[in-house]
């Protein structure tokens, strides 16, 4: 009897021990993933679209049977939060999700300053952080970046570098007016622009800083006109971009110079009158309709995702919605590869198997926590009212004319401390 009692007690102790050592991913029927975007505040116009993309990815994963973890299929439980476009709110809600709800994984980020705050907090809270918006280059510096943080989109500096390369190259500019919003997006975009344009001899450029939320852009554009450039490089974003491009159209500036916008997106391009988009050149992270692009694999991947998104939400996806979708998918892959929800092991798993494919085509994770896409950005030309067609005419505002490939305008990892 003593032997039976002893064996029983040892069996109970072993069961308790091993149950406690099993990762949380194996101990429940669901994997909790925090999803946080700006659903209120200035970022809400983007955040709501990002949330749509994230929810679509979670639904697709769950409908397909969930994530394979240790031979078991686990469903995703999304913990949805609003960061209110406020870094302090974002930090509080990250802590609440991680400590109160047990979600050690967060996908999110709408505005760069909020993502920077989340990056800093993730060092303390010890979460896997997948940001899916544009961030400053500083995010990727080894001394700055959390060891378990990634970003799936791009930086404003790289957008500036790409724009400078195209304006100085294929557009053959000789005199460039840089029309920049006087805050972090404009400042960092211009930093990237300067880094490239300084190496092009014989090209003159001047920057015209514009206060954020300027209702009437005309006085600033008059100064640009007096400068007499052959290319106007515009860094305005959101409502400012709508106002700026409306004003350039009303002033007839496109008759005498070329206009290049640094980073177009559905969220505001659809608010620009079709006649004001006609002939405008621009750069995009991704566009929902890649018809005519040289790579059939990218065309097919884009169409497949866009069709699913349209079926779910009745309108074509914005680049930021696509990035959120891809962020969830890559987070799920990290869980599946590592077999756990340990942030360090998830991050290491992606670095060990960095290649993946999404709606944007082929990509590979770099050591600094960002992906190198086969096509980093796309160059587009805006469509006027007579060039638009199809069921979603408002969203048919551009056509792809070129692309930047690979690490064209990414800084070497050695410059970031790796």
- Give the domain range for residue 332: 29-154+303-373
- For residues 130 and 277, membership in a common domain is answered with no
pLDDT of res. 26: 37
pLDDT of res. 61: 98
Number of domains in the chain: 2
Cα(314)–Cα(355) distance, integer angstroms: 31
Within a domain: 19 = no
Helix, strand or coil, per DSSP, at residue 406? coil
Within a domain: 16 = no
Judge contact between 107 and 33, C-beta under 8 A.
Answer: yes
pLDDT of res. 19: 36
- For residues 186 and 278, membership in a common domain is answered with yes
- For residues 211 and 191, membership in a common domain is answered with yes
pLDDT of res. 312: 98
Within a domain: 290 = no
- For residues 368 and 384, membership in a common domain is answered with no
Is the model's pTM score more than 0.85? yes
For 340-350, write each residue's pLDDT tens digit: 999 999 999 99
- For residues 59 and 46, membership in a common domain is answered with yes
- For residues 193 and 246, membership in a common domain is answered with yes
Q: Residues with Cβ < 8 Å from 378, sequence gap 6 or more?
A: 283, 284, 285, 286, 287, 293, 400, 402, 403, 404
Within a domain: 21 = no
Question: Which of 373, 389, 407 is the last residue in one of the domains?
Answer: 373
Question: Which of 357, 373, 389 is the last residue in one of the domains?
Answer: 373
- For residues 254 and 380, membership in a common domain is answered with yes
The total number of residues written for the chain in this structure: 418
Neighbours of 412 (CB within 10 A): 9
- For residues 53 and 101, membership in a common domain is answered with yes
Within a domain: 10 = no
- For residues 81 and 173, membership in a common domain is answered with no
Q: What is the CATH number of the domain that holds 278?
A: 3.40.50.2300
Within a domain: 174 = yes
pLDDT of res. 11: 40
Give pLDDT < 50 ranges for the chain.
1-27
Within a domain: 319 = yes
For 371-414, write each residue's pLDDT tens digit: 999 999 999 999 999 999 999 999 999 999 999 998 988 999 99
- For residues 86 and 124, membership in a common domain is answered with yes
pLDDT of res. 319: 97
Cα(104)–Cα(94) distance, integer angstroms: 9
pLDDT of res. 408: 87
Within a domain: 22 = no
Q: Residues with Cβ < 8 Å from 258, sequence gap 6 or more?
A: 171, 173, 230, 231, 232, 281
- For residues 380 and 369, membership in a common domain is answered with no
- For residues 97 and 221, membership in a common domain is answered with no
Q: In what order do the strands lie in the sheet with 371-373?
A: 355-358, 361-365, 371-373
Q: Which residue shows structure tokens 């079709």?
A: 274
């Amino acid at each position: 009897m003593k032997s039976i009692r002893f064996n029983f007690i040892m069996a109970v102790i072993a069961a308790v021990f091993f149950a406690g050592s099993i990762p949380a991913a194996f101990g429940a029927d669901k994997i909790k993933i925090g999803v946080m975007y700006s659903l209120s505040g200035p970022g809400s116009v983007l955040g709501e679209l990002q949330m749509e993309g994230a929810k679509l990815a979670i639904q697709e994963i769950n409908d397909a049977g969930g994530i394979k973890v240790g031979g078991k299929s686990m469903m995703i439980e999304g913990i949805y939060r609003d960061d209110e476009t406020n870094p302090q709110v974002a930090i509080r809600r990250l802590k609440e999700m991680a400590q109160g709800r047990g979600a050690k994984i967060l996908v999110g980020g709408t505005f760069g300053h909020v993502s920077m705050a989340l990056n800093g907090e993730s060092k303390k809270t010890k979460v896997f952080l997948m940001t899916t918006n544009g961030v400053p280059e500083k995010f990727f510096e080894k001394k700055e970046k959390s060891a378990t943080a990634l970003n799936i989109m791009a930086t404003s500096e790289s957008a500036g570098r790409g724009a400078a390369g195209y304006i100085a190259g294929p557009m053959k500019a000789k005199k460039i007016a840089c029309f920049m919003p006087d805050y972090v997006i404009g400042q960092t975009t211009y930093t990237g622009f300067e880094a490239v344009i300084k190496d092009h001899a014989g090209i003159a450029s001047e920057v015209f800083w514009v206060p954020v939320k300027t209702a009437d852009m005309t006085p600033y554009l008059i100064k640009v006109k007096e400068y007499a450039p052959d290319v106007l490089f515009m860094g305005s974003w959101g409502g400012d971009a709508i106002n700026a491009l409306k004003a350039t159209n009303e002033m007839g500036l496109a008759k005498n110079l070329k206009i290049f916008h640094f980073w177009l997106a559905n969220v505001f391009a659809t608010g620009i009158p079709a006649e004001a988009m006609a002939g405008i050149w621009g750069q995009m992270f991704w566009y929902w309709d890649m018809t005519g692009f040289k790579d059939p694999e990218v065309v097919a991947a884009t169409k497949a995702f866009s069709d699913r998104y349209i079926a779910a939400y009745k309108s074509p996806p914005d680049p930021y919605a696509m990035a959120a979708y891809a962020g969830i998918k890559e987070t799920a892959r990290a869980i599946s590869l590592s077999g756990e929800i340990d942030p360090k092991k998830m991050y290491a798993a992606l670095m060990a198997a960095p290649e993946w494919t999404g709606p944007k085509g082929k990509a590979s994770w770099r050591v600094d926590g960002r992906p190198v896409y086969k096509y980093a950005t796309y160059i587009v030309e805006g469509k006027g009212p007579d060039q638009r067609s199809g069921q979603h005419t408002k969203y048919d505002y551009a056509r792809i004319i070129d692309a930047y490939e690979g690490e064209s305008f990414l800084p070497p990892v050695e410059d970031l401390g790796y």
